[in-house]
């Protein structure tokens, strides 16, 4: 396959089955549930002994209105007192985290996610920054990014955040068609989107990402084509084009607020996916993998070319080797050898922190096999190739012997045109980059143990 113009509906349907997105390995459904605050404190202490900077993720769960397609951990409120109380609890968690680390740590990557971080006022955003700065140092060459909803984001917020050092912003758009917007309870006008984008450009943000979603209710290939053309004219640096996963047995908002009859047929959804690939690759964007695109000159595209691309809970990133500390309700921490997740209930999270401990409710300590398989999966999904000698030298094993069943699966994928196999490496083809989740899945030893895995389809 020379380019993505040769992708067909039949190809998509052949591989379109439930599978993990591999923002982590092992995936969240395999993690243990319980109370792990002591284990978390131990991991933080060991992290404090490492002379390495951190990635810090701060979760702001608040939204003023519920978007019914959303599967994020959010809390709908207009109660400013609750927001202030949450910020006080965040300060407490940051203090406890720093105490366990034992010393001030350098933050090389700071990400504000949600929810809607721009639900906070200018004063609250400045307060949040000061709270973090009380316990951590910021790398002047580091990366500071946030997610923003154009319907509620004001220019004075963007100016304040830029003044604080934020240079990357991700704008949630999803779809500009008003019928689709009404179907997902969003009502975000083109003017709001355009004004927020233009303000960010004028202020000087060096990287603007736009999130789109295909497969939404009332969406068609024709309406999404109009959205893509409008977004392309804005000229974002990066794009994320996600598949809407309708999972009513997991998300109550899907069950209660989205009419299954309004969803596009599987044929329409697949056609929309193919149209998005063709449109944005022809518009000059490089497909990073799965659902991310970037201009050829963007750091993400260069990192993939230089084999320094990394993947974590925030998606693709250029920064490798950083432990990620998550603070806030439902936030996830990744120490490289273990994962933790904070309490998902807002009340329970706030109560736990106020009682003097970070309430972690999920944990996964990685064994040697987990770490090996995680590196194989991440390398495939970031670099689209895998050096067998590099894995063999690092883990002291014979790759094709250790992964005999997996290598057999790769041979089948080779016959189907997804990979190219050589004596010393495995490469994804252009077709394979579209189905990298499928290629990665044979290396996941936990999938066979899950009788009812709750994953979205790979397309």
What is the per-residue DSSP string for 97-144?
Answer: HHHHH-S-EEEEEEEEEES-GGGS-HHHHHHHHHHHHTTEEEEEEEEE
Identify whether the C-beta of residue 221 lies closer than 8 Å to the C-beta of residue 271: yes
Question: Residue 230: is its pLDDT beyond 70?
Answer: yes
Architecture of domain 4-365: Alpha-Beta Horseshoe (3.80)
What is the pLDDT at residue 270? 87
DSSP 8-state class, residue 262 = G
Nearest to 273 by CA among 256, 285, 286, 290: 290
Q: How far apart are the C-alpha atoms of 257 and 340, rounded to whole Å? A: 31
Q: What is the DSSP letter of 449?
A: G
What per-residue confidence (pLDDT) applies to 6? Answer: 72
Q: What's the CA gap between 340 and 325, in Å, rounded?
A: 9
319-322's contacts with Cβ under 8 Å and 24+ in sequence apart are 319/55, 319/108, 319/109, 319/143, 321/52, 322/52, 322/53, 322/54, 322/55, 322/108, 322/109
Query: In 184-331, which residue ranges form alpha helices assigned H by DSSP?
Result: 190-203, 221-234, 252-257, 266-282, 299-305
Report whether pLDDT(315) > 90.
no
Range list for CATH 3.80.30.20 in the chain: 4-365
Q: What does residue 34 show for φ and ψ, rounded to 5 degrees?
A: 160, -155
pLDDT at 452 over 60: no
User: Mean pLDDT throughout 176-190?
Assistant: 93
**What is the rounded CA–CA span in Å between residue 328 and residue 342?**
7
- Residue 251: pLDDT band by 50, 70, 90 thresholds? low
Average pLDDT, the chain: 92
Say which CATH topology domain 368-447 has.
Arc Repressor Mutant, subunit A (1.10.10)
Confidence band of 189 (pLDDT split at 50, 70, 90): very high
Structure tokens at 291: 């659902």
CB of 257 closer than 8 Å to CB of 352: no
Q: 455 pLDDT exceeds 80?
A: no
Q: 233 or 314, which is more confident? A: 233
User: Phi and psi (nearest 5°) for 421?
Assistant: -110, 135
Q: pLDDT-derived band of residue 248, with 50, 70 and 90 as boundaries?
A: low
Mean pLDDT of 18-25: 86
- Report d(CA 157, CA 145) in Å as an integer: 13
Rounded CA-CA distance 158/147 in Å is 11
Q: What percent of the chain has pLDDT over 90?
A: 74
Residue 20's pLDDT is what?
86
437: which residues sit within 8 A by CB, 6+ positions away?
19, 20, 21, 22, 290, 381, 458
Q: What average pLDDT does range 92-104 have in this prediction? A: 96
The pLDDT score that the predictor gives to residue 402 is: 98
Q: Name the burial class of residue 154, with classes exposed (0-12), middle (13-18) and buried (19+) by CB atoms within 10 angstroms of its CB.
A: middle
* Mean pLDDT (whole number) for 281-309: 89
- What number of other Cβ atoms are within 10 A of residue 128's Cβ? 20
DSSP state, 4? G
- CATH 1.10.10.920 maps onto the chain at 368-447
Q: Which residue has better confidence, 48 or 248?
A: 48
Query: What distance in Å separates the CA atoms of residue 143 and residue 130, rounded to the nearest whole number?
Result: 17
- Spacing of C-alpha 151 from chain mean position: 21
- Are the C-beta atoms of 428 and 380 separated by less than 8 Å? yes
Beta bridge partners of 54: 107, 323
Whole-angstrom distance, CA of residue 84 vs CA of residue 127: 10
Binned at pLDDT 50, 70 and 90, residue 454 comes out as: low
Give backbone dihedrals phi and psi of 109, rounded to 5 degrees, phi first. -140, 125
Statement: residue 76 has pLDDT above 90: no
257-275 mean pLDDT: 88
- What are phi and psi for residue 72, nearest 5 degrees? -75, 165
3-state secondary structure of 297: coil
Write down the pLDDT at residue 289. Answer: 78
Residue 274 or 368, more confident: 368
What value does the mean pLDDT take over residues 356-384?
95
Q: How far apart are alpha carbons 87 and 72 in whole angstroms?
A: 19
Enter the tokens of residue 434: 């579209």
What whole-number distance in Å separates Cα of residue 157 and Cα of residue 123? 9
pLDDT of residue 349: 97
């Amino acid at each position: 396959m020379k380019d993505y113009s040769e992708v067909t509906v039949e190809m998509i349907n052949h591989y379109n089955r439930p599978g993990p997105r591999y923002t982590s390995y092992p995936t969240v459904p395999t993690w243990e549930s319980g109370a792990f605050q002591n284990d978390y404190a131990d991991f933080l202490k060991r992290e404090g002994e490492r002379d390495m900077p951190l990635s810090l993720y701060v979760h702001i769960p608040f939204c003023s209105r519920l978007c019914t397609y959303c599967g994020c951990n959010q809390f709908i409120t207009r109660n400013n007192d609750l927001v202030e109380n949450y910020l006080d609890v965040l300060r407490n968690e940051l203090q406890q985290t720093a105490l366990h680390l034992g010393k001030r740590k350098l933050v090389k990557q700071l990400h504000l996610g949600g929810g809607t971080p721009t639900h906070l006022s200018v004063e609250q955003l400045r307060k949040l920054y000061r709270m973090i700065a009380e316990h951590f140092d910021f790398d002047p060459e580091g990366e500071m990014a946030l997610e923003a909803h154009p319907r509620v984001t004001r220019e004075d917020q963007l100016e304040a955040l830029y003044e604080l050092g934020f240079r990357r912003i991700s704008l949630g758009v999803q779809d500009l068609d008003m019928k689709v917007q009404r179907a997902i309870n969003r009502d975000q006008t083109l003017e709001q989107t355009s004004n927020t984008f233009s303000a960010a450009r004028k202020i000087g943000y060096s990287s603007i990402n736009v999130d789109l979603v295909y497969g939404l209710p009332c969406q068609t290939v024709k309406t999404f084509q109009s959205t893509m053309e409008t977004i392309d004219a804005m000229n974002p640096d990066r794009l994320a084009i996600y598949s809407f996963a309708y999972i009513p047995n997991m998300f109550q908002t899907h069950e209660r607020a989205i009419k299954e009859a309004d969803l596009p047929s599987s044929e329409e959804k697949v056609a929309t996916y193919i149209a998005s690939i063709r449109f944005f690759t022809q518009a000059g964007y490089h497909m990073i993998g799965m659902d991310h695109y970037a201009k050829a000159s963007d750091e993400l595209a260069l990192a993939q070319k230089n084999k320094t691309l990394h993947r974590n809970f925030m998606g693709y990133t250029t920064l490798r080797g950083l432990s990620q500390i998550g603070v806030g309700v439902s936030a996830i921490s990744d120490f490289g050898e273990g994962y933790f997740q904070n309490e998902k209930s807002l009340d329970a999270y706030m109560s736990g922190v106020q009682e003097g401990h970070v309430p972690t409710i999920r944990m996964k300590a990685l064994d040697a096999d987990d770490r090996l398989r995680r590196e194989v999966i991440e390398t495939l999904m970031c670099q689209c190739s895998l050096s067998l000698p590099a894995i063999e030298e690092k883990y002291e094993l014979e790759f094709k012997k250790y992964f005999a069943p997996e290598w057999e699966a790769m041979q089948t994928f080779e016959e189907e045109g997804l990979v190219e196999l050589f004596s010393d490496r495995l490469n994804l083809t252009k077709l394979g980059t579209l189905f990298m989740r499928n290629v990665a899945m044979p290396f996941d030893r936990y999938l066979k143990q899950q009788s009812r895995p709750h994953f979205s389809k790979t397309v």
